[in-house]
Structures are given as C-alpha cells and as structure tokens.
Amino acid sequence: MTDIDDQERPSKTALKREMEALQKLGSRLVGLSNADLARVPIDDPDLEEAIATARRIKSREGLRRQMQYIGKLMRRIDASGIEAALLEQEQGQKALARRFHELEDLRDDMLATGVKGVDAALQRFPNADRQRLRQLLMQAGKEKTANKPPAAARKLFRYLRELQQIANEEESQA
C-alpha cells in the first residue's frame, strides 16, 4: 500500500522545482511597474500585500525571505491566470519593440534611397502626406551633407510613428 502512495506523490525534487518556479513568478510580479501589476489578476489579498511589502524592502536578506513567503502564498492559489497575464504582457512588449524596429528600418531605407523612399512609406501608409515626407527627406539629406545633427531624421521617425498609430487605431476600429 505504501508503494502506491509513494508513486502518486510527487518527488521532493519536483516539489522543490515547483516552489522555485512559483518564487520566480513572484519575483517577476515584484519587478513589475504599478500599471503592469494592476493588469495582473491577483485574487489573494495576502499575496497583494506581500508583493507590496517586498517592493518596500531594501535589505537583501529580508527580500529573500519575503520572496520565499510570496512563493509559499502562491502555492495556495492557482497561478495559471497570473502566468497567462505575464506572458500576454511580455508578448505585447515584444510586438511593440518589433513595430518600433520596423519603423526604424523604414526610416533608414527612406534616408538611404532619398526622395524615392517616399513610395515605400506611401505603400505602407496610404494616408501619408507625400509632400511632408519629401520635405523631411530632403532636409535630412541636407543635414547629413552639412554634418549637422539629424533633426529631420528624428522628425521623419516621429511622423512615421504617428502614421503607425493612426493605422493601428483604424485597424482596431475595423
């Protein structure tokens, strides 16, 4: 009868791994900004208080003990909702960074090709102002030849980012 009980019960190592995983999840929660933490569904008021306390602790040893306590509290709850919310936030941040890099690449391509780069921007953003794009590209070219700071290139990037935001808003409304 004891052989069956031993087989059904998880090993001590497996329990320790699970506790460490919950403790790491807790440390991720402690490291979040207030706005990001507010979007995570934490149903346990004791856990919320423990996270708030951990954020205030400056002592390394005190923080270690508090993280262990957070791990202990997390064993009592179903952490799948918290994990899903953190994963969603992480993917959102990656998507945001990817779009940012795509805009940087578009700007760099436009600066490399000059006025011909306007067509590339118009393909991606049909509602863009062709004249404004041309002016910004020409200004950027003049600044580059005069060895001046790239103010026009920055303005071009800001304009492309505005166009991206407008496209995202139109996409979400459709």
pLDDT tens column, 112-166:
888 888 888 898 898 889 999 999 999 988 998 898 888 989 999 999 999 988 8
Domain end (from 26, 47, 77) = 77
Give the separation between CA 113 and CA 118, rounded to whole angstroms. 9
Q: Are residues 103 and 132 in the same domain?
A: yes
pLDDT tens column, 87-112:
888 888 898 899 899 999 999 999 88
pLDDT tens column, 40-54:
888 889 999 999 999
pTM: 0.60
Mean pLDDT over each residue of the chain, to the nearest integer: 87
DSSP letters along the chain, please? -HHHHHHHSPPHHHHHHHHHHHHHHHHHHHHS-HHHHHTS----HHHHHHHHHHHH---HHHHHHHHHHHHHHHHHS-THHHHHHHHHHHHHHHHHHHHHHHHHHHHHHHHHHGGGGHHHHHHH-TTS-HHHHHHHHHHHHHHHHTT---HHHHHHHHHHHHHHHHHHHHHHH-
Give the chain's domain count. Answer: 2
- pLDDT band for position 71 (cuts 50, 70, 90): confident
pLDDT tens column, 137-151:
999 889 988 988 889
Q: Are residues 69 and 14 in the same domain?
A: yes
The residue segments making up the domain with residue 72 are 10-77
Q: Are residues 107 and 166 in the same domain?
A: yes
Give the CATH number for residue 55. 1.10.60
- In the numeric block, which tokens belong to residue 92? 């959102």
Q: Are residues 48 and 117 in the same domain?
A: no
pLDDT tens column, 74-86:
888 888 888 888 8
Is 82 within a domain? no
Is 46 within a domain? yes
